[in-house]
Amino acid sequence: MRVVALVLPISALAVTLAIASAPRTVNGRYQRGEPTGTDAVTFNRDIAPIVFRYCAPCHRPGEAAPFSLLTYADTAKFADQIAYITEKRIMPPWLPAPDEQKFSGELHLTDAQIHLFRQWAKQGAPEGDRGDLPPTPEFTPGWQLGKPDAILHAQKPYSLPPQGTDNYWNFIFRTNFPATRWVRAIEIRPGEKRVVHHANLLVDRLHSSRSQEKHSGEGFAGMELRIESDTFDPDSHFFFWKPGSVPHMEPADMALRLDPGDDLVLNVHLQPSGKPESIEPTIGLYFTGQSASKFPFLLELQNDKVLNIPPDATNFEVNDDFTLPTEVQLLAIYPHAHYLGRDLLASATYPDGTTKNLIHIPRWDLNWQAVFYYEDEVILPAGTHISMHYIYDNSAANIANPFHPPQRVKGGNRTTDEMAHLWLQVLPHGTTTAPEQARLLLQESIARHDVTRDPEDFAAQYNLGAMLQSKGDSTEALRHFQAAVRLRPTEPVANNALGAALIAVGNPQEAVAPLLRAIRTRPGYAPAHYNLGNAYASMRKFDEAIRHFSEVTRLSPTDSMAEANLGAALAETGNLTEARRHLERALRLDPQNTLAAENLVEVKRQLASSQSR
């Protein structure tokens, strides 16, 4: 039986990591500007160190910011504006409030630094002594991490229309590596930066995204991605781009595995500029020779179901909670809402009753959302209660509100809809169990949590069923697959899984109907053909079984088990010569295929017996 695990739908993550510094001293780091004790505040001594560190990564030629701040003349023109937007904490774009947990690359200005900008503007923005000016920051041109080990290009550029609302386009990059590669970093170059709001990358190991292209290589539209997987190892890394972002380098022991033929799907959020634009992204991959020994997990809390925000509501609350079944290390966190989000809080209540904020964003801004990596180790013991508490403002006073006058807003995938999501990248520790067992326990617990929260959640029902099926609990898995098919009657992956579960509980006759539905919806769906072959073989309808196993070998020429089952079915019909050919091919594909080896011995015995007569 083959069950295809459906990874939870992940709306395109608009994420960034804003880390930048430029050399001022031999250790390559700027010191924060602080008051000097004198009334005079000058650009060269007081302002430049702050601007070069916090502003220049985006405010420089070739980046997305509308003007450069690399010189005194450039910066002085905007002295009043800079004083205003820093005092309002609009810039630099750093959302988390100062708290006990520290994040890598924090861009939070101190009150003293903000005071410097205000005083400088009031004093007429003096330049000061040229000798006080630190060196102009030098930024790496081109690839930020140096020349990549492999560069992937979009197969076809996307033509962004000049007008319209937010636009989402997905590019599929085919890796075609001859052997497995371990990736320590991915750098995304999204194309025309002026019109790209963010880009997010996911791994598609089964090529499930290709079916959404009208023509091969052209990509497809959509904000929400659904990636199918044949194992429960969903992508556990954040790979993203946003103006001013720096690629995140994973530890070597947490590298991403890319197998031969894996696809990378780049979801790009585009904003029309008023003229036609051609978007042609590239991706740089940086390899490591060390295979991963630690496997993080993306844990998602969300409660979009309750998002039904009436107009003029200023304090609409959305919550979700989850209790960890095992100890984890919290590596990174990504909160997500749309334009009505106002105050986003994630907290942890430890088994001893103490509570700590994991992140608090008191002034949410969709345009500056990010993935935040923790500076220090954060351990969450088994039994820790994680809470998501979001507040939404659907009033006219919310300047980000897309509707004037305000309208009722519900959960959905458009930016004018709303979302309430919280992703946590965690590393299961398994202090009382092996890390892999801890990961499986975490996966099953969050799936049960999702089903309990919303029984009408198709992905939650399906994923829980697939997890239960993978651990051999076909009876309970069957109930969840039935629920998934009830929610989406023609979904091929769910119908295939339902058929596989029915075969596993000894009901191949009932399995035929959902498996045929899967094939009608997706004729080239090899797992459904394989399971249908098994169902017919169990019913001793070997001619039908041969037809479907043959189709699997056509669709998946390297599938050893399909060849083995085809050989076994042929042998049952007395076609021993053809049976032998397919069984031998199964062993060439996989010398460890015990089913093929055992059946081949029997087929050869029968052939020899028939020839001796």
- How far from 519 is each of 515, 523, 542, 560, CA to CA, in Å? 6, 5, 19, 21
Which stretches does DSSP call E strand in 292-398? 297-302, 308-309, 316-323, 328-336, 341-349, 355-361, 372-380, 385-392
Q: Give the pLDDT band of residue 200 (cuts 50, 70, 90).
A: confident
**Which domains are assigned to the chain?**
43-132 (no CATH), 143-288 (2.60.120), 297-453 (2.60.120.230), 492-611 (1.25.40.10)
DSSP 135: P
Answer whether residue 324 shows pLDDT above 60.
Answer: yes
Confidence of residue 591 (pLDDT cuts 50, 70, 90): very high
What is the pLDDT at residue 64?
Answer: 67
pLDDT band at 231 (very low <50, low <70, confident <90, very high): low
Q: Whole-angstrom Cα distance, residue 425 to residue 298?
A: 5
| DSSP element (H, E) containing 104 | none
63-72, 82-91, 341-350, 366-375: range with lowest mean pLDDT = 63-72
Residue 100 Cα distances to 97, 365, 422, 497, 598, angstroms: 10, 22, 19, 45, 62
Average pLDDT over residues 520-547: 94
pLDDT tier, 31 (very low <50, low <70, confident <90, very high otherwise) = very low
More confident residue, 12 or 78: 78
Does 94 or 613 have the greater pLDDT score?
A: 94
Which of the four pLDDT bands, split at 50, 70 and 90, describes residue 14?
Answer: very low
Query: Residue 368: pLDDT band by 50, 70, 90 thresholds?
Result: confident
pLDDT confidence band for 212 (50 / 70 / 90): confident
Per the CB < 8 A criterion, the answer to whether 225 and 267 are in contact is yes
What pLDDT shows up at residue 58?
Answer: 81
Residues 425/343, Cβ–Cβ less than 8 Å? no
pLDDT in tens, 242-256: 766 678 888 888 899
Q: What confidence score (pLDDT) does residue 229 get?
A: 66
The mean pLDDT value for 280-308 works out to 92
Q: Is 80 exceeded by the pLDDT of residue 167? A: yes
**CB–CB of 284/211 below 8 Å?**
no
At 10 the pLDDT is: 32
Query: pLDDT tens, 410-466?
Result: 998 777 899 999 999 999 875 555 777 888 889 899 999 999 999 999 988 998 999
Helix (H, G, I), strand (E, B) or coil at 499: helix
**What average pLDDT does this structure show over 509-530?**
95
Assess whether pLDDT exceeds 70 at residue 23. no
Residue 3 confidence class, pLDDT cut points 50, 70, 90: very low
Amino acid 331: pLDDT: 94
Three-state DSSP state, 359: strand
Q: What pLDDT band is residue 235 in, cutting at 50, 70 and 90?
A: low
pLDDT digits (tens, 9 = 90+) for 82-136: 999 888 888 887 889 888 888 988 888 888 998 999 999 999 989 899 988 999 8
- Residue 29 clears pLDDT 60, i.e. is over it: no
Q: Above 80 in pLDDT, residue 599?
A: yes
**Tens-place pLDDT, residues 575-586:** 999 999 999 999
Query: Could you tell me the sign of the dihedral formed by the alpha carbons of 580, 586, 588, 590, in that order?
Result: negative
3-state helix vs strand vs coil in the chain, percent to 5: 35, 25, 45
Q: Do residues 414 and 312 lie in contact, with contact meaning Cβ atoms separated by under 8 Å? A: no
Question: For residues 448 and 322, what is the distance between their CA atoms, to the nearest angstrom?
Answer: 10
How far apart, in whole angstroms, are the C-alpha atoms of residue 511 and residue 2? 13
Whether the per-residue pLDDT at 233 is higher than 60: the answer is no
Q: What type of residue is 380?
A: L
Tokens representing 76 are 């002085």
Q: For 410, which DSSP code?
A: E
Give the confidence band of 344 by pLDDT, cuts at 50, 70, 90. very high
Share of the chain above pLDDT 70, in %: 90
Mean pLDDT of the chain: 86
- With 60 as the cut, is the pLDDT of residue 217 above it? yes
Neighbours of 224 (CB within 10 A): 12
Separation between Cα atoms, residue 464 and residue 449, nearest integer Å:
10
